[in-house]
Amino acid sequence: MTERRTSIPTDGFLSDGAEYWRKVHEKRAFEWFEIARDLNRFGHQLRSLIETGTPPAPQHLYLSGLLFLRALSTFQASILLANYGLVTDAGTLVRSTLEDFLLLGMLEKDPAFAVSMMRADALQEKKKLRGLLNLPSDLGLSPGRVEKLQRYVESFPDDLSDIKFDQIARKAGIGHMYDTYYRGLSHTSAHPNIQALTRHTSFDHQGNATGFCYGPDVPKDEIMQIVAYACAIFYCAIHSIITIYDDGTLLVKLDALYQRYSVMARRDFPEIT
């Protein structure tokens, strides 16, 4: 079997050349990737803490632990993507980590919110099943299967309600996180808005569009900024889970990382700090 040689022009981010750019970005934004690794290591050390929240522990502790594990892996994924120059995609995952934090923040403020999460999940299941029932009859659901699904859907309560992140953010007292990070990442990464699409546009010195732009050759400041966003939001998730599990000694250790982050943020992003 002959060895297949790949390059950025022929295979993009799936090419052998992507590894070169990973090293370039690592070197350019080394301090930011380093603090991301330290936050990640700190997060991993909390796994033994959240294991005390498995059933029969209170439901809010169990859900908090699950949310934190999801935030941990999503944070890792966002850093990996940023390392290869996939800034827009990293931003989408950073917003996902923020959703985990918003839910953690609400559970921190009101443990009874766990019930609302369960009811919202039931509503989504009900909507999914209704979608199946609305499929054309020739797509494979037998009459018997349809009847069973119908009975199952009718067993769900009628007063289920969904979760709206803007509302829970304000109830949890962290509405500013929604108004800044969530709206910003939605506009620049998660949704195909004009601003997000400009990442794939090249410009001349006068700011005129000259063509398409694609690949891992991303400016240093964009790499640094998305890693900084990821670290800020994951820090908040760590703070919430520690508070929920009531371990003040860990907050002292976490504060040292926060102070280090703050110094770097003021130095590299003075216009937004």
Cα-Cα-Cα-Cα torsion 102, 221, 30, 259, nearest 10 degrees, comes to -50
Digit-coded pLDDT (tens) for 18-51? 999 999 999 999 999 999 999 999 999 999 889 8
DSSP single-letter state for residue 111: T
- Cα–Cα dist 238/104, whole Å: 10
Strands (E), the chain: 201-203, 209-212
Digit-coded pLDDT (tens) for 193-228? 888 888 888 889 998 999 998 889 999 999 999 999
**Phi and psi torsions of 160, nearest 5°:** -70, 150
Digit-coded pLDDT (tens) for 45-97? 999 889 888 888 899 999 999 999 999 999 999 999 999 999 999 999 999 99
- Our CA angle for 124, 107, 44, nearest 5°, is 100
Check whether 273 has a pLDDT greater than 70: no
- Cα–Cα dist 81/97, whole Å: 14
Tell me the sheet residues that pair with 201: 212
- Cα–Cα dist 119/140, whole Å: 30
Cis check for the bond before 111: say yes or no (omega within 30 of 0): no
Q: How many CB atoms lie within 10 A of CB 272?
A: 10
Two tokens, residue 245: 């599990």
Residue 3 binned pLDDT confidence (cut-offs 50, 70, 90)? low
How many CA atoms, within 13 angstroms, populate the side-chain half-sphere of residue 233?
A: 35
Check whether 13 has a pLDDT greater than 80: yes
Annotate 132-145 with b (16+ C-beta within 10 A) or e (fewer): eeeeeeeeebeeee
Distance (Å) of CA 186 to CA 96, 162, 193, 201: 10, 20, 9, 19
Give residues with Cβ within 8 angstroms of 142, minimum separation 6: none
- Cα–Cα dist 268/183, whole Å: 22
Place of tokens 């620049």: 188
pLDDT, averaged across the chain: 92
Check whether 143 has a pLDDT greater than 90: no
DSSP single-letter state for residue 186: I
Residue 248 binned pLDDT confidence (cut-offs 50, 70, 90)? confident
- Cα–Cα dist 130/133, whole Å: 5
